[in-house]
Amino acid sequence: LGFKYFGPIDGHNLPDLVDTLKHIKEIGGPIVLHVLTRKGKGYKPAEADRLALHGVTQFDKTTGAMKKKTSTAPTYSQLFGEALTEIAELNPRVVAISAAMIEGTGLRAFEKRFPDRIYDVGIAEQHAVTFAAGLATQGMKPVCAIYSTFLQRAFDQIVHDVCLQNLDVTFVLDRAGLAGDDGATHHGVFDMAWLRTVPDMVIMAPKDEAEARDMLYTAIEHPGPAALRIPRLEASGVRQARDFSRLPIGEGEILKDGTDVTLIGIGTMVDQALRVAEELERRGVKAGVINARFVKPIDSQLILERARRSGRLVVIEEHSPHGGFGAAVLECLCEAGLAGIPVLHAALPDRFVHHGSRELLLREVGLDVPALTERINAWLTALPVPALQKEEGRSGA
């Protein structure tokens, strides 16, 4: 192919590396420089266990021992891996694919149980998606587990290799939403916007780990492309059923009735919406809460019915403010001729969010309960009372 090849050379020998780079800089044409390095080189604990020290919290620099977690609760990723293993026991066509993220996406349990049904393609997300598409054409049910932020690299493959053929591929987007201490490169805050533009794609986000389990089953049973968003969070302790239930595609649920305003949460923000509704109740505001469940197809019937009833909507999402679930709700209202209904959209700011614990970051971006409560209450107070409420004698906020 006309490439000139140099190497392999020791990447830890800086004088040799610099000399080689100087040399090949003067050579024309395409060049491949093959450099070998050892992960953790120079720090014995990291050399001994490169996996354990890939992502670190506070640790002892002498021993490499990381500060132990105070909580023993499993993460969403771990529960996903366990649930997928259970589903694979029931269906021999289920296989798992990841792109150098088997540990991070919770697939170790699956790997131990089904070593011949899991594929780690390395840091090659585009190939992971096309490989999944190929398996789907042969009747397999591939589950492609990749961090939300890295699946962006395979947008073209999702469009042309999977969705254009309406193939049966399930995407599990780990680290959907704020990824906490993983930082700006890992926050999965754009996926709802770009995924929902693709025809035939189903997108869902669970309110808790029990719903995540059923959504995984629903996505795999769905005979076309589907995406499940799971957060980088510990489980909340919600009781999980032993069996799996298939959810009706595109149906949300009412968690709390209310006549003054309707709060619509998606994924992690459903719990925030419920807690905010409790705070508003103490201020005399009757707030209803919807668990949207599906970003696409959106539950238009439920949202329009609640919009007409309460006359005011608040959409809460842990996502970019542009093109995501909030945009889907506004489109729904416009298409139904209800564009005049006031909508408050609470989302992430239009900037990159830096490192920090999820609690700290939610507070910083105004998506924690106190900030949401104050913002919604102030917004309601400034609005005129909807005509329906005037007729029924309600004062709202």
213, 134, 131: which is closest to 172 by C-alpha?
A: 213
Q: Is 358 a catalytic residue?
A: no
Give the C-alpha separation, 380 to 397, whole Å: 6
The active-site residue, picked from 4, 38, 39, 44, is: 39
Query: What are the respective helix, strand and coil percentages of the chain, to the nearest 5?
Result: 40, 20, 40
Out of 125, 209, 211, 318, pick the active-site residue: 125
39 is catalytic: yes
Largest CA distance in the chain: 83
- Residue 241: other Cβ atoms inside 10 A: 9
**What's the CA gap between 228 and 148, in Å, rounded?**
10
256 catalytic? Reply is no
Pick the catalytic residue from 113, 153, 275, 309. Answer: 153
Task: Please say whether the dihedral angle defined by the alpha carbons of residues 242, 248, 249 and 255, taken in this order, is positive or negative.
Answer: negative
Collect all residues with Cβ–Cβ distance below 8 Å to 36 and sequence separation of at least 6.
7, 8, 9, 10, 11
* CA nearest to 313, candidates 273, 373, 261, 381: 261
Give the catalytic positions in this structure: 39, 125, 153
